[in-house]
Amino acid sequence: MSELAKKSALLRGLAGAGFLLLAGCMVGPDYVPPEPDAGADFGATLPGEAGARAEETLWWRGFNDDRLSGLIAKALGENYEIAAARERLLQARALVEAEAGAGGPQLDGALTGDVASRTGGGGQNGQTEGEVSAGALFSWVPDLFGGQRRAVEAAEAESLARALLEADIARLTAADVARRYTEARRDYARLGLVNQSLELQRETLRLVETRFEAGLTARLDVKRAEADLAATRAQAPQLERSAKAALHALAVLTGERAGDFAKAGIGEGSIPAFEGGPAAGLPRDMVRRRADLRAAEAELARATALIGVEEADLYPLLSLPGRLSFNLEDLGSGNVAELVVATLSATLDIPLFDAGTRRAEISAAEAEAREALLLYRQAVLEALSEVETALVSVVSARARQDYLGEAVAASEVAFQQAENLYSQGLASFTEVLDAQRSLLSNRQELAIAKSDLALAFIDLYAAAGAPTGPRE
C-alpha cells in the first residue's frame, strides 16, 4: 500500500470511529410537549356552537364586505410589522443552517509562498530563491455527547417560534384592520344620524317658531329648541375626528400614508354585520390554532434543548485538527505520495474543576425551561379567558342590539304622537323635547350597538385563532 493510501485510510478510520461515537450519546432531556388544561368546552356558547368545530375559512368573509376583505388582504401583504417578522424568520432559519454546519468537519485551503535572498562574496550579485507550497487544513470537533445536536434543536425551535410569531402578527393585524374599518363605518353612520337629527330638529324649531309667532307658546320653547339644535351640531366635529383617526390607523396597517388613505371614501357604507358560522369551536382546537400559544410551546422546546447544550460542557471535548501539504515545485520530481506531508492530531479537553460554573449554568438552563413552561400555561389561560370574554360580549351585544331596535321603533312612534299633540295644543313642548331626545339617543345607541356586535365577533375570531391564510 502506498504512503498516501495509508494516510487516507487512517483519516477514514478516525472519521468512522467518530461517527460511531456520535450515534451513541445524547445529553439533556428530550422535549415532551405539555398537555394544556383547556377543558372540554367553553363556559359561554352561541346558538348552534356548542361542541361545534370552528370554520377553517377566512373569518372576515362572514361580513360579506368585499372592501373589508380587500383591506385585510392588502395589510397581510404590505404591513411593515409582518414584513419585519418575516425578516426575523429568515434570520432564524439562517442560524439553523449555521448551527447545523458548525458540527461538521471544516476544510480550508492554504497557499504559502516564501522568498529568500543571499548575497554573494567578492561583490558578486546575490541569489534569490523562492518556494511555493499548497495544502488543506482540516478540523473537526466530533459531537460525542450531543451538545451540538441539542444546539441545532434549539435553533430549529427558535426558527419555528419566529414563524409562528409572524403568523400571530398576521392574526392580530387582520383583527385590527377589521376593528378600525368597523369603527370608521360606525362613526360615519353616526354622522349621518346627526344630519338626520338636525333636519328633524329644524322641523321642530320651525313648528315652535310658528306657534310662537301666533302667540301660542313662549319664547322659552324656541330657545330650548335652538339649544338642542346647537348641541346636536356639536356632536359632528368629534365624530369626524374619531372617524378620521380610524382611517389613519387603517392606513398604517395597510402600509399607506394616512392623508391619501382618508380620501378614499372607505368609511362610506353601512356598519358591518357578521353572518358567518361557528367561531370559537372547542378549547383544544383553539390551543392548536393560536399561533402565539404554539410559539410559546416552541420556546419551551428551545429552552429544553439548551439544557443539553449546557450539560455537554460537563464532558470531554475531542478536537481533530489535520493538515495536508506539498511543495508545488516538487510535483514533477517524484512520486506524489512521497511529496505529500499529512499530519493529524487529536486533543482531548477534559473538564476537571471550574468552581461549579458549569453546574450553575445547567441549573440556570433548567430554570429557564421551567419558566418557559409556566409562561406557556399562563398564555393558555389568558387565551381561554379572551375567548370566554368575547363569547359573553357577542351574546350581550346581540341582546342589546335587539332591545335598542325595539326602543328606536317605540320612540319614533312616541315622538310623532308628541309632536302631533303639541301642534294641537294638547301636549307641552317639554314632552316633545323629551320624545325627540329619546329618539335621537336611541338611534345613536343602536348604531353603537351594531358596531359593538361586529367588534365582539372580530374579538372572538381573533381570540379563537381563526386562520388568516397560508403563511411561509
State which amino acid sits at residue 153.
E
Single pTM value for the model: 0.80
Domains of the chain, start order: 3-111+133-463 (1.20.1600.10)
Q: Can you tell me the distance from the alpha carbon of 223 to that of 86, in angstroms, rounded to the nearest whole number?
A: 62
| DSSP states of 36-54 | ----SS-SS--TTTTTPPP
Residue 65 has pLDDT above 80, yes or no: yes
Residue 170 has pLDDT above 70, yes or no: yes
Instruction: Find the DSSP H helices in 254-334.
Output: 258-261, 283-289, 291-312
pLDDT band of 339, cuts 50, 70, 90: low
Q: Strand pairing partners for 320?
A: 140
Least confident of 112-121, 168-177, 224-233, 371-380: 112-121
Other C-beta atoms closer than 10 Å to the C-beta of 409 total 11
The phi and psi torsions of 38 (rounded to 5 degrees) equal -95, -15
pLDDT of residue 7: 47
Across the range 285-294, mean pLDDT stands at: 85
Residue 113 has pLDDT above 80, yes or no: no
pLDDT of residue 17: 47
Across the range 84-97, mean pLDDT stands at: 85
Output 237 or 323, whichever has higher pLDDT.
237
Q: Can you tell me the distance from the alpha carbon of 430 to that of 428, in angstroms, rounded to the nearest whole number?
A: 5
pLDDT of residue 50: 45
Least confident of 64-68, 306-310, 427-431: 427-431
Residue 115 has pLDDT above 60, yes or no: no
Residue 117 has pLDDT above 90, yes or no: no
387 in Cβ contact with 393 (< 8 Å) = no
Output 45 or 141, whichever has higher pLDDT.
141
Axis crossing angle, helix 80-102 with helix 147-213, rounded to the nearest 10? 170
pLDDT of residue 407: 96
Q: Can you tell me the distance from the alpha carbon of 105 to that of 130, in angstroms, rounded to the nearest whole number?
A: 33
Least confident of 95-99, 181-185, 310-314, 404-408: 95-99
Least confident of 91-105, 307-321, 421-435: 91-105
pLDDT in tens, 246-289: 999 999 999 988 877 666 677 778 999 998 765 666 777 777 88
- Largest Cα–Cα distance in the chain? 142
pLDDT band of 330, cuts 50, 70, 90: low
| DSSP states of 175-189 | HHHHHHHHHHHHHHH
Q: Can you tell me the distance from the alpha carbon of 145 to that of 351, in angstroms, rounded to the nearest whole number?
A: 14
Output 144 or 157, whichever has higher pLDDT.
157
Cα dist from 224 to 104, 195, 221, 361, whole Å: 87, 19, 5, 77
pLDDT of residue 44: 53
Across the range 308-332, mean pLDDT stands at: 76
Cα dist from 105 to 100, 137, 142, whole Å: 11, 11, 8
Mean pLDDT estimate for the chain = 82
pLDDT in tens, 189-204: 999 999 998 998 898 8
State which amino acid sits at residue 268.
E
Q: Can you tell me the distance from the alpha carbon of 104 to that of 124, in angstroms, rounded to the nearest whole number?
A: 55
Residue 320 has pLDDT above 60, yes or no: yes
Output 294 or 107, whichever has higher pLDDT.
294
Q: Strand pairing partners for 135?
A: 110, 325
Output 290 or 183, whichever has higher pLDDT.
183
The phi and psi torsions of 68 (rounded to 5 degrees) equal -60, -45
pLDDT in tens, 341-382: 667 777 878 888 878 888 999 999 999 999 999 999 999 999
Across the range 140-155, mean pLDDT stands at: 87
To the nearest whole percent, how much of the chain has pLDDT over 90? 38
| DSSP states of 374-419 | HHHHHHHHHHHHHHHHHHHHHHHHHHHHHHHHHHHHHHHHHHHHHH
Q: Can you tell me the distance from the alpha carbon of 170 to that of 172, in angstroms, rounded to the nearest whole number?
A: 5
